[in-house]
Amino acid sequence: MAVERIFKDEASEEKGERARMASFIGAMAIADLVKTTLGPKGMDKILQSTGRGREVTVTNDGATILKSLHIDNPAAKVLVDISKVQDDEVGDGTTSVVVLAGELLREAEKLVAAKIHPMTIISGYRMAAECARNALLQKVVDNKEDAEKFRSDLMKIAMTTLSSKILSQDKDHFAKLAVDAVMRLKGSTNLEAIQIIKKPGGSLKDSFLDEGFILDKKIGIGQPKRIENANILVANTAMDTDKVKIYGARVRVDSMAKVAEIEGAEKEKMREKVQKIINHGINCFVNRQLIYNFPEELFADAGILAIEHADFDGIERLALVTGGEIASTFDNPESVKLGHCKLIEEIMIGEDKLIHFSGVELGQACTIVLRGASHHVLDEAERSIHDALCVLSQTVNDSRVLLGGGWPEMIMAKEVDELARKTPGKKSHAIEAFSKALSAIPTIIADNAGLDSAELVAQLRAEHHKEGCTAGIDVLTGAVGDMAELGISESFKVKQAVLLSATEAAEMILRVDEIITCAPRRREDRM
């Protein structure tokens, strides 16, 4: 007797072996895609959109690459998600997390083929991940007490993070920028106070850190170019109602004189509004919307600097930085909180004039001005510096530091291997597989640098059997090097996040035994 189909037409289901196959293959394909961007010698990808203008992005940031892909395979989507979360949570390690999850699944596929149940593999992976995390915890270094050492740790972490990005040539310069910016935050992870402005022109070396806040606007005509001890009112209000707008209004009048009266009334309204604003005792007025020439004249007469059309990010940040609040009504001046800063002046960067606020209330604020040859370079530089800032601000809170360059993976692999030998039963195969997957990361770093990975990783494993070993892969000389001497460090928080996210993602994909794709909704014929 034939079973009736339960799904609609066009819905499809994959069962058992085929479903698992599809998940494994999808996840491994995604991992292979970003694999080549891993490490200091990783390559970049060009992403071209099919939309208007065919925008081109050149990047080697794992999360950016994966975000731009439109993927059909459900398992691959899980990996894209973990890389997004890694990017939001700690900022760096977006490629590593995908590659590690891909390697775990590659090993799991062999085990499944050898008739080991996925649940057995998962419980083995769980034990291995716990063991790997403990291995790292024993090796962490924490220099929170010693400010000098802690700063050098931060510099090393920033340089390691930047070494796989476009900024690797000037990584000393940019690491210093990032560390200075994060040190000013004094432990808050709110990166809002660090503003990044991109100005094409010059070279990447010309980028600098500016203490204070820079607003990408020009100063109005006939207004003071420089104000000391400024009181700033940040507002979001319409300042363009001094003319009758012909399009919106219908006014029936019997003579032109009446139109003039209406215009006069509108002007009076505007003048009152401006007077109210001036009564706040301010000498700088920043508005999110347009300011027409009439109110602009009034502000100029009162000797007030009026800035119009400041973008929303700029406004929010300016209010945050100067300690003011965004106002939209001006009837009771005592309830409006004004912002303050010591000096407002006009500066030139390249060809453009910008307004510079220095000596702001929130001493944590600063602006990083990036210069570079083209927009693509600047966008990639911004992504790189943002990664570095995220990692550093996380490290300031959780100051545990590890060495880099494949060292943590080898430490974990060694411990996990030992656990596999002690564990009876089928789980031990899964635990051993986990250690293989971990040592795949140094292998890939070496492969991307065009080195003999099998030879190097074997040497590395031998080194790691000695006590207190600090060996990792030095891609520049192409040999096993001492990570402590080379100053290659990573943040513990990033490594831990990579390890746990990758294990959980692999676990989730392993659990799948059926994929059901539902039928698309039919559009009814309206005819």
Q: 475 with 41: CB under 8 angstroms? A: yes
Distance CA 279, CA 231 (A): 12
Which of 142, 39, 125, 131 is CA-nearest to residue 412? Answer: 131
Among 210, 387, 417, 474, which one carries the catalytic annotation? Answer: 387
50 as an active site residue: the answer is no
Q: 496 with 132: CB under 8 angstroms? A: no
Cβ-proximal residues to 92 (8 Å cutoff; 6+ apart), any chain? 161, 387, 388, 390, 391, 491, 494
- Exposed, middle or buried: residue 128 (CB in 10 Å: 0-12, 13-18, 19+)? buried
According to DSSP, the residues that pair with 401 across neighbouring strands are 141, 491
Which of 132, 111, 130 is CA-nearest to residue 121? Answer: 111
Among 95, 160, 367, 395, which one carries the catalytic annotation? Answer: 95
Give, rounded to a whole angstrom, the gap between the first and last alpha carbons of the chain. Answer: 41
Q: Measured over all CA atoms, what is the biggest interatomic distance in the chain, rounded to whole angstroms?
A: 101
322 as an active site residue: the answer is no
CA of 160: how far to CAs of 175, 397, 403, in Å?
A: 9, 19, 10
**Three-state helix/strand/coil letters over 372-423:** ECCHHHHHHHHHHHHHHHHHHHHHHHCCEEEECCCHHHHHHHHHHHHHHHHC
Cβ-proximal residues to 320 (8 Å cutoff; 6+ apart), any chain? 192, 193, 362, 365
Distance CA 357, CA 206 (A): 21
94 as an active site residue: the answer is yes
According to DSSP, the residues that pair with 340 across neighbouring strands are 231
CA of 439: how far to CAs of 108, 138, 308, 409, 432, in Å?
A: 15, 19, 56, 6, 11
170 as an active site residue: the answer is no
Q: 137 with 500: CB under 8 angstroms? A: no
**Three-state helix/strand/coil letters over 89-141:** HCCCCHHHHHHHHHHHHHHHHHHHHCCCCHHHHHHHHHHHHHHHHHHHHHHCE
Among 94, 160, 322, 423, which one carries the catalytic annotation? Answer: 94
For strands 208-211 and 400-403, give the pairing. unpaired
Cβ–Cβ contacts within 10 Å for residue 9, how many?
7
Contacts of 5-10 spanning 24+ positions with Cβ under 8 A:
7/516, 7/518, 7/519, 8/518, 8/519, 9/519, 10/519, 10/520
Please tell me what DSSP assigns to residue 524: P
Distance CA 44, CA 59 (A): 5
3-state secondary structure of 300: helix
Give me the active site residues, please: 61, 94-95, 387
